[in-house]
Chain A
Amino acid sequence: MNSIVVNGLRFHYPAQAEPTLDIGQLEIARGERVFLYGPSGSGKSTLLSVLAGIHRPQSGTVAIEDIDITALTARQRDHFRAHHIGYIFQQFNLLPYLDCIHNVALACEFSKVRRQRLQQRNISPEDEAARLLNQLGISHEMHSRRASELSVGQQQRVAAARALIGSPELIIADEPTSALDADSRLSFLKLLFAECERAGSTLLFVSHDAELAGQFDRSLSLSALNQSAEA
């Protein structure tokens, strides 16, 4: 069972002639924790955008949870992302004008599927948000604080909670630790791993910093995968 299957993917930005991505094959198994590294500008974020269904490759197929998202319309891909993918940015993940709970619960606003999964367990989005925040080390008295009042490390943990709420199958993290110091980096990783395991989510973690590779099941070099980068 694979979470991600990529075949013959070629992608270039509209303004560019050279493909940014040219990936023959990539498979990531369900529940796997994969580390993807590569230098800045090598196309890591672009690949994640393609996997998340924001950008559509010019050729090739991308199957997420056995669904070929290249066959979907833009709107269907947006819905697919809302339901099945949790996304964490490097920074500025949160809406500064919402408090922690509502930042986390926001993911459920956009996804019926995530709401239904919580409903089956008889939990409201707010309760689940509070539980996740506690798990990720955001104590109760901070839940009603606005995102703009949190430290960067705390913000990243709130962002992780938002990606995880409603147990999406795939968590994509685009350099979520690069704004953190070494200590918080490790503790963030540990918490993220634990929650992914609990939810049964696959984790694709991107960084330009190969140091973290040892923590993962498997690590991939984008430069090795990407034929266009070698050319």
Chain B
Amino acid sequence: MKLFKLAWASLLSRKANALLTVVAIAISVMLLLGVDRVSQQTRAGFANTISGTDLIVGARSGPVNLLLFSVFHIGYPSSNLSWDAYSHWAEHDQVAWSIPIALGDSFRGHPVIATDHNFFEHFQYGQRQSVRFAEGQPFEHSAEAVLGARVAREQGLQLSDQVVISHGTGSVSFHQHDEDPVQISGVLAPTGTPLDNAVFIPLVGLATMHGEHQAEEPQSPPSFSQQSVPQENEEPEHDHDHDHDHDHDHDHDHDHDHNHGVALDSEQPIDSLSAFFVGLHSQPRAIFMQRMINTWGQEPLTALMPGATLQELWRTLNMFERVLAIVSGFVLLTGLIGMLATLLASLQERRREMAVLRSLGAGPGTIFSLLVSEAFVLTVTGIGVGVALLYAALYALAPWIEYSFGVVIHISWPSMVEWQRMAIVLVAGTVISCLPAWRAYRNSLADGLTIKL
């Protein structure tokens, strides 16, 4: 039986209604799948931002806040921790490595992270991937900076370019460290994490900009004996002597009056830090270390385990996700009710059509399946269009999401769960159409061969 063709022709004759129904279903399918997909992807993206770090330590604050500013560069530390506290814990027996960071400055809207070489050596993201240089090398003295991949791309900057770092995190900053241009020593390879959006400068550089070292001018010669970082931290390509030479060259190139190019190996490059990342010799000890740091008497600190806090952060975001899921559920319901209403409304005018088909030998069962197959076609089309819209939206929004949250959205085929959801929509649409189909069935039995005018 070419019933399906008939249903299709009939449907085409009611294009406007059909189109609206399809659009309503498509939008709800797009939302239904999109909410889940974006949250899955974001979850994966979030989890990929940091790896291999056992603890993050900052001044006493909420762990989510600490995680947000230290890993995602969102928000500010409410207070700083002292260099003394950092060096105390960095030298702890259990600590394999540590990375100090100080935040607060920005470069054309990109967050600036003041840190030391440990960052390039120990920081890991994704599946324990280390930070790699696309070109250049880590900063070697205070007036150098390393750029995240996107910063370099967006700002059109290359190795050896000079940039000016501003104080405060706003895109437009009134207080600029005009007098302190820094030179780009390296550009990182893309990571798909917030690192891509960051600018890295040495701690000494930050301190210098903020005038911490002005009183200490001229800088005392470097002391090798009192490294505050643990002994595992070796930097083969990074010779201190070379450092010093370079320092002089640099001074030569630039303004001699200023305290440019101080060495990076000072005992205490900066007075206070925003946070530090810790890698332990034994990862299972993280929970003991966390408790020890949290209950330390000398300075109020907060230590968090990134995995656990990411989960916590995710639970917060989950609320948002759930609300969206509920909303898209309702949108779906509205779409299906819209289809139901359209089918019911068309029944009256289609009574003639039904009577004609009855006269040609169509049974009431045929009339029933005609309506159900129409709903089926509408729903399948709606799902198809919805999926197409979803992919279009993903392609359109992926760059924006990456830009805003540093999270890379991978565009892949629908997952098992998504296929399931599509199947649920299809079943729901088909089941719901049984109501008008049943009424058409009853009508065609009652009307017999009279054409209702």
A residues sitting closer than 8 Å to B (CB atoms) are: 45-46, 48-49, 52, 54-55, 74-75, 78-79, 81-83, 87, 89-98, 106-107, 109-111, 162, 174
Decide if B359 is an interface residue (CB 8 Å cutoff).
yes
**Residues of B347-366 contacting chain A, CB below 8 A:** 352-353, 355-365
Instruction: State whether A90 touches B451 (Cβ < 8 A).
Output: yes
* A89-B355, A97-B9, A97-B13 known; A45 vs B450 contact (CB < 8 Å): yes
B357 neighbours in A (Cβ, 8 Å) = 110
List chain B residues, Cβ under 8 A from A82.
Answer: 360-362
Q: How far is the CB of B115 from chain A (nearest CB, A)?
A: 71
Q: Indicate if B424 sits at the interface (CB-CB under 8 A).
A: no
List, in ascending order, chain B residues with CB within 8 A of A109's CB: 1-2, 6, 360
Complex Cα gap A106–B366 (Å) = 14
Choose among A74, A90, A96, A109 the residue with the greatest number of B CB atoms under 10 Å from its CB.
Answer: A109
**Taking A54-B448, A95-B10, A98-B9 as contacts, is the C-beta distance between A81 and B361 under 8 angstroms?**
yes
Give Cα A65 to B433, complex, Å.
39
A78 / chain B contacts, CB cutoff of 8 Å = 358, 361-363
Taking CB atoms and an 8 Å cut-off, the chain B residues in 7-36 that contact chain A are 9-10, 12-13
Tell me whether B358 and A54 are in contact (CB under 8 A): yes
Q: Which residues of A contact B392 (CB under 8 A)?
A: none
Nearest CB to that of A91 among chain B residues?
A: B451
- B449 near A: Cβ within 8 Å? yes
Of A46, A52, A75, A79, the residue contacting B359 (CB under 8 A) is A52
B453 within 8 A of A: yes
| B326 CB, nearest partner CB in chain A, Å | 39
Complex: chain A residue closest to B365, CB-CB: A75
Chain B residues packing against A (C-beta within 8 Å): 1-2, 6, 9-10, 12-13, 352-353, 355-365, 448-451, 453
A79 touches B361 (CB 8 A): yes
Q: Are B9 and A87 touching (Cβ within 8 A)?
A: no
A205→B12 CA distance, assembly (Å): 35
A195 to chain B, nearest CB (A): 18
A55 to B444, CA, bound (A): 11
Q: List, in ascending order, chain B residues with CB within 8 A of A87's CB.
A: 359-360, 449
Across the interface, B356 reaches (CB within 8 A) one of A74, A93, A111, A174, namely A93
B448: chain A residues within 8 A (beta carbon)? 45-46, 49, 54-55
Contacts of A98 in B (CB 8 A): 9
Chain A residues within an 8 Å CB radius of B12: 97
Known: A97-B10, A109-B1. A92 touches B361 (CB 8 A): no
Q: Is the CB of B356 within 8 A of A75?
A: no
Q: Which A residues are in CB contact (< 8 Å) with B360?
A: 82, 87, 106-107, 109-111, 162
Tell me the complex Cα distance, A117–B131, Å: 80
A87 to B2 Cα, complex, angstroms: 21
User: Could you say which residues of chain B place their CB within 8 Å of the CB of A55?
Assistant: 448
Whether the Cβ atoms of B363 and A74 lie closer than 8 Å is yes
| Partner pick for B361 among A45, A89, A111, CB 8 A cutoff | A111
For the complex of A and B, 6 pairs with smallest distance between CB atoms: A82-B361, A97-B13, A87-B359, A49-B448, A110-B361, A54-B448
CA distance A87 to B453 in the complex (A): 18
19 examples of A-B residue contacts, CB within 8 angstroms: A45-B448, A46-B448, A52-B359, A52-B449, A78-B361, A78-B363, A81-B359, A91-B453, A92-B451, A95-B6, A97-B9, A97-B12, A98-B9, A106-B6, A106-B360, A107-B360, A110-B361, A111-B360, A111-B361
A109 to chain B, nearest CB (A): 6
A69 to chain B, nearest CB (A): 13
Given A45-B448, A75-B363, A87-B449, 5 more pairs with CB closer than 8 A: A52-B449, A54-B358, A74-B363, A92-B451, A95-B353
Which residues of B have CB within 8 Å of A97?
Answer: 9-10, 12-13
Which one of A49, A107, A162 contacts B449 once the chains associate, using CB atoms below 8 Å? A49
CB-nearest residue of chain B to A103: B356
